Structure 1
Amino acid sequence: MTEKNTEKITILEVDLKKNEEALELLEELSNSLEALTGNSGKASFSLEDMQEPRSVFVIAKDCDGKAVGCGAIRSITEEIAEVKRMYSRVKGKGVGAEILSFLEMRAKELGYTTLWLETRRINENAVHFYERNGYLTRENYGKYIGNIEAVCFEKRLDSSLR
């Protein structure tokens, strides 16, 4: 299991099918997205995707051991991974940035050169979060092509990532 510790949080890779905290976080995220966008996002994520060899699912725990966020990457191509199910229970504390940084590091370790992701335009907090973290808008890909509610992002991974 790969792990990263900071003073604030610990990021742990987990087996999604066997981790109750991860499943709870995913359900919270789905409910939050449903309320904000009218779509839970469940149809765009599969538990089976996380069983693939180059897929990663992580949870973040605070200094008290409480699960406070999650995120994942899954393979699109040999070089491109997709960021999925990013969620933080606490806003403005850097949890999302820590999760994203960890996923970027793991993607690079797994041989990916680029990360893609999709969010809804109406989810302005997410849009601004990805922009602040170096993601650039790109053409919509896959099932998001032609979906005017979706905005897709890309980040090239380089050697400066720790």
Structure 2
Amino acid sequence: MENYVIVQPEDPNSIDARDLMELLSDNLQSITGDSGKNSFDVTDVTVPRSLFVIARNQQGEPIGCGAIRPIDTNIAELKRMYAKSKSNGVGTAILSFLEEQSLNFGYSQIWLETRLVNQKAVSFYENKGYIRIDNYGKYLNREECICLGKFLS
């Protein structure tokens, strides 16, 4: 049976959102030694042309999340991407939704940062058409970081 995933905008301050982001932080801490909490402020996804989404399964249970926020007029930054299951299309559904919404908001690119040691995430994004870009912003001159970007069409 086809996995059923619904992705929709939700309040980043909701209990489900906080629970998912806590799971993400724990996961990142175990993989990279950094929870990523210092790289995300919930107010970043409550400004115009930003969005926080939650993916839910057929039973309505929260199974993943993600967000976009503006870097500049043309570039959105992908934040807080997380899927409880790494194999049933949850991450792909979230990413596709956020890419579509980014286009609707008028962005031409999406950028993101993850850690080089987080090879599963790097491979996931590369398989979705993201390519390595120069490190930007707070990730400049940080060898443990990898920044990726994609032109939207």
Give the whole-Å Cα distance in 2 for the aligned partners of 1:20 and 1:13.
Answer: 14
Q: Tell me the equivalent position of 2:63.
A: 68
Q: CA RMSD in A?
A: 1.0
Bigger relative CO (Cα 8 Å, ≥ 6 apart): 2
Shift of 1:7: 5.7
Name structure 1 gaps, 5 residues minimum: 1-5
SS in 2 for 1:11: strand
Aligned residue type for 2:127: R
Shift of 1:116: 0.3
- Would you say the 8 A contact 2:103–2:152 is kept in 1? yes
Q: Does residue 86 in structure 1 map to residue 81 in structure 2?
A: yes
Q: Tell me the equivalent position of 2:136.
A: 141
Aligned residue type for 1:34: Q
Q: Tell me the equivalent position of 1:13.
A: 9
Q: Does residue 118 in structure 1 map to residue 116 in structure 2?
A: no
Post-superposition Cα deviations, 1:82-132, rounded to whole Å, max 9, x if no partner, equal: 000000001111100110000000000000000000000000000000000
- Would you say the 8 A contact 2:3–2:89 is kept in 1? no
TM-score of the pair, normalised by structure 2: 0.97
Give the whole-Å Cα distance in 2 for the aligned partners of 1:55 and 1:72.
Answer: 7
Please identify runs of 4+ aligned residues in structure 1 that moved more than 4 A: none
SS in 2 for 1:16: coil
TM-score of the pair, normalised by structure 1: 0.92
The partner residue of 1:26 within 21, 25, 37 is 21
Name structure 2 gaps, 5 residues minimum: none
